[in-house]
């Protein structure tokens, strides 16, 4: 390994030369307190910034082992380190030092969720931060002195402040790790308590805006649980907490408009992730197998067995192996449910506002006007209890427009001024008093969920001269070769690092497991097992620091939305 003096000498030698001379600094350098690795050097000041790593001996870093001695604590610990690195940037980095990205230093530190990511990596011997640096230049002329200031003043200060325990508020990092451990523990207790979700007393559910996921600061009403649904839990670090438990089965969330129904459901859908302290949703915990379902007009569907919901289409179109390049609201919602059931989902989260009306319910008047033999759709209201009984899949449903669901609900929660109340008994009494004459069209069973096996020709990551070209464009789009995958309606995707990883995981699956002829679920489960053993770094032949672990459901969702997908 080279010395820091070698790096200083190279920067002095290439000062004022053309930008390509920056390639000479690529390599590893030993500083007094850490090792520096410059893995990739950008081609010009406007290109993606250079990839850099700083590595410190774990013994020298001095962090107590209790902060990272097991799975979830380790994930939360490195998450906190990345956030600390980000905080240090504000007081250390000068910023603009020329043209383009000159002077930039940045790290991928995430948002409100605590995710497994590779911006900071920890093993038995060292702690490593991975960040990017915009190598400074004016035009295409290297600014060597500016680069020296970055590598010999700014980077050492950042490493000192972020990778050494002596510079930490011990209560901050411990609180972050403890909070994540408590959330993971609580999520693990849900099945044994017969619950699919838990919302702790005092939780702050509203967000600042549709593009700002931080908690609402003004006029936010803390959550208060109804006594009928009270659940008490003893957490490893926080101790006793109480809140509202949502039982397994069919749960309706009802209430007037603007009273907080969708806000509650949105918090529940994000409860599959752990949240940072201060987020307000640290005690909003959801079963890890919960998936958000909605209608998705225009999406591609490839050989999905939607016959549980749709049959007898005009012109005899097959619904056991249903395919279309332009799905309707009802067929897309049916396919979304079946595809997630195929992947082992255990809880469906549905909001009537984003659902196809004709998929959700068909009232008695419409049944009388349009006979069943003329209506291909079996409404969800007639399948939801069979789904629970046959497949052990629960549903949480926001419903403000149809009381027909009172007949099939096990629990009814009414939001009134952002406060929940348990009105199950009252809803049942209303259902008995106003008996519906609609006919149950659901049959005796839910129906069949058919595993599917993708064909190898579905996955071509090449573009032009590049054999593999996979990239994320924002949070909601993956460029997979020449194919753009639209993830706009995968609403539980929360981090761009997850989007990048999804594209790479699809490629990994195509390389390693599709040849074995496995169903999609089994093939992806093997990919996730590999990732558990090898980490996110298995996805690329070189080191980056901008990947975050997605859920298997969003990887499958992206695969199913590939317009190149072909099924055996």
Give the residue extent of every domain in the chain: 2-168, 290-433, 456-560
Give pLDDT, residue 313.
Answer: 87
Given a contact cutoff of 8 angstroms between Cβ atoms, the answer to whether 93 and 103 are in contact is: yes
SS3 content of the chain, % helix, strand, coil (to 5): 40, 25, 40
DSSP 70: S
- Angstrom distance (rounded) from CA 311 to CA 448: 13
Given a contact cutoff of 8 angstroms between Cβ atoms, the answer to whether 381 and 404 are in contact is: yes
Which of 187, 190, 224, 222 lies closest to 204 in space, CA to CA? 222
- Angstrom distance (rounded) from CA 106 to CA 91: 13
C-beta atoms surrounding 233 within 10 Å: 22
- Angstrom distance (rounded) from CA 498 to CA 117: 9
Q: How far is CA 230 from each of CA 192, 226, 394, 410, rounded to the nearest angstrom?
A: 16, 6, 19, 16
Which of 209, 292, 255 lies closest to 554 in space, CA to CA? 292
- Angstrom distance (rounded) from CA 127 to CA 122: 5
pTM of the entire structure?
0.96
C-beta atoms surrounding 435 within 10 Å: 8
- Angstrom distance (rounded) from CA 262 to CA 271: 14
> Which of helix, strand or coil describes residue 32?
coil
Give pLDDT, residue 506.
Answer: 98
Backbone φ and ψ of 565, nearest 5°: -65, 130
Give pLDDT, residue 316.
Answer: 78
Task: Walk along the chain (568 residues) and give the pLDDT tens digit of each residue.
Answer: 999 999 999 999 999 999 999 999 999 999 999 999 999 999 999 999 999 999 999 999 999 999 999 899 999 999 999 999 999 999 999 999 999 999 999 999 999 999 999 999 999 999 999 999 999 999 999 999 999 999 999 999 999 999 999 999 999 999 999 999 999 999 999 999 999 999 999 999 999 999 999 999 888 999 999 999 999 999 999 999 999 999 999 999 999 998 999 999 999 999 999 999 999 999 999 999 999 999 999 999 999 999 999 998 887 789 999 999 999 999 999 999 999 999 999 999 999 999 999 999 999 889 889 988 889 999 999 999 999 999 999 999 999 888 999 999 999 999 999 999 999 999 999 999 999 889 999 999 999 999 999 999 999 999 998 999 999 999 999 999 999 999 999 999 999 999 999 999 999 999 999 988 899 999 999 999 999 999 999 999 999 999 999 999 999 999 999 999 999 9
Q: How far is CA 159 from each of CA 39, 83, 111, 212, 547, rounded to the nearest angstrom?
A: 17, 13, 22, 29, 21
Give pLDDT, residue 273.
Answer: 98
- Lookup: tokens for 184: 């993971």
Query: Rg of the chain's alpha carbons, rounded to an integer?
Result: 26
Given a contact cutoff of 8 angstroms between Cβ atoms, the answer to whether 100 and 45 are in contact is: yes
- Residue 213 CA to chain centroid, in angstroms? 13
How close are the terminal C-alpha atoms of the chain, in Å? 52
Give pLDDT, residue 437.
Answer: 86
Backbone φ and ψ of 403, nearest 5°: -80, -5
- Lookup: tokens for 416: 């009134």
């Amino acid at each position: 390994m080279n010395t820091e003096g070698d790096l200083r000498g190279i920067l002095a030698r290439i000062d004022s030369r053309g930008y390509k001379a920056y390639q000479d600094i690529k390599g590893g350098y030993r500083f007094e307190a850490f090792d520096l690795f410059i893995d990739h050097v950008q081609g010009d000041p406007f290109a993606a910034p250079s990839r850099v790593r700083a590595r410190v001996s774990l013994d020298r870093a001095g962090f107590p082992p209790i902060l990272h001695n097991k799975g979830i604590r380790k994930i939360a610990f490195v998450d906190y380190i990345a956030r600390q690195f980000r905080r240090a940037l504000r007081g250390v980095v000068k910023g603009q030092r020329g043209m383009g990205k000159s002077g930039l230093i940045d790290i991928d530190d995430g948002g409100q969720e605590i995710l497994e990511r590779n911006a900071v990596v920890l093993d038995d011997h060292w702690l490593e931060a991975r960040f990017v640096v915009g190598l400074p230049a004016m035009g295409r002329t290297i600014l060597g002195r500016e680069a020296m200031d970055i590598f010999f003043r700014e980077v050492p200060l950042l490493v000192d402040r972020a990778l050494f325990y002596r510079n930490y508020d011990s209560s901050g990092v411990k609180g972050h790790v403890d909070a994540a451990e408590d959330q993971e523990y609580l999520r693990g207790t849900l099945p044994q308590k017969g619950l699919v979700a838990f919302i702790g007393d005092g939780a702050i559910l509203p967000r600042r805006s549709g593009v700002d996921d931080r908690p609402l600061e003004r006029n936010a009403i803390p959550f208060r649980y109804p006594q009928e649904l009270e659940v008490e839990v003893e957490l490893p670090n926080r101790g006793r907490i109480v809140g509202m438990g949502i039982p397994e089965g069919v749960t309706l969330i009802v209430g007037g408009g603007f009273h907080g129904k969708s806000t509650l459901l949105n918090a529940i859908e994000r409860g599959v992730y752990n949240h940072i302290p201060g987020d307000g949703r640290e005690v909003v915990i959801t079963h890890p197998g919960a998936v958000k379902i909605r209608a998705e007009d225009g999406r591609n569907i490839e050989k999905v067995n939607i016959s549980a919901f749709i049959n007898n289409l005009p012109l005899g179109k097959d619904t056991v192996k249903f395919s279309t390049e332009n799905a309707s609201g009802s067929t897309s919602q049916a396919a979304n449910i079946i595809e997630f059931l195929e992947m082992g989902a255990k809880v469906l989260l549905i909001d009537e506002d984003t659902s196809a009306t004709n998929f959700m319910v068909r009232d008695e008047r419409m049944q009388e006007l349009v006979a069943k033999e003329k209506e291909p759709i079996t409404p969800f209201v007639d399948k939801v209890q069979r789904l629970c009984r046959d497949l052990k899949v629960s549903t949480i449903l926001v419903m403000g427009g149809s009381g027909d669901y009172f007949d099939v609900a096990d629990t009814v929660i009414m939001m009134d001024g952002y406060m929940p109340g348990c009105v199950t008994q009252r809803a049942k009494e209303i259902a008995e008093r106003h008996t519906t004459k609609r006919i149950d069209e659901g049959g005796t069973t839910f129906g069949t969920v058919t595993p599917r096996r993708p064909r190898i020709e579905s996955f071509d990551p090449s573009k032009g001269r590049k054999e593999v070209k996979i990239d994320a464009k924002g949070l909601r789009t993956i460029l997979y070769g020449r194919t753009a995958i639209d993830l706009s309606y995968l609403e539980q995707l929360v981090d761009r690092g997850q989007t990048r990883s999804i594209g790479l995981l699809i490629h990994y699956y195509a390389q390693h497991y599709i040849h074995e002829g496995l169903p999609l679920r089994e093939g992806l489960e093997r990919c996730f097992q590999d990732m558990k053993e090898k980490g996110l770094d298995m996805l690329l032949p070189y080191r980056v620091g901008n990947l975050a672990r997605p859920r298997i459901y969003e990887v499958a969702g992206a695969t199913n939305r590939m317009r190149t997908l072909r099924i055996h």
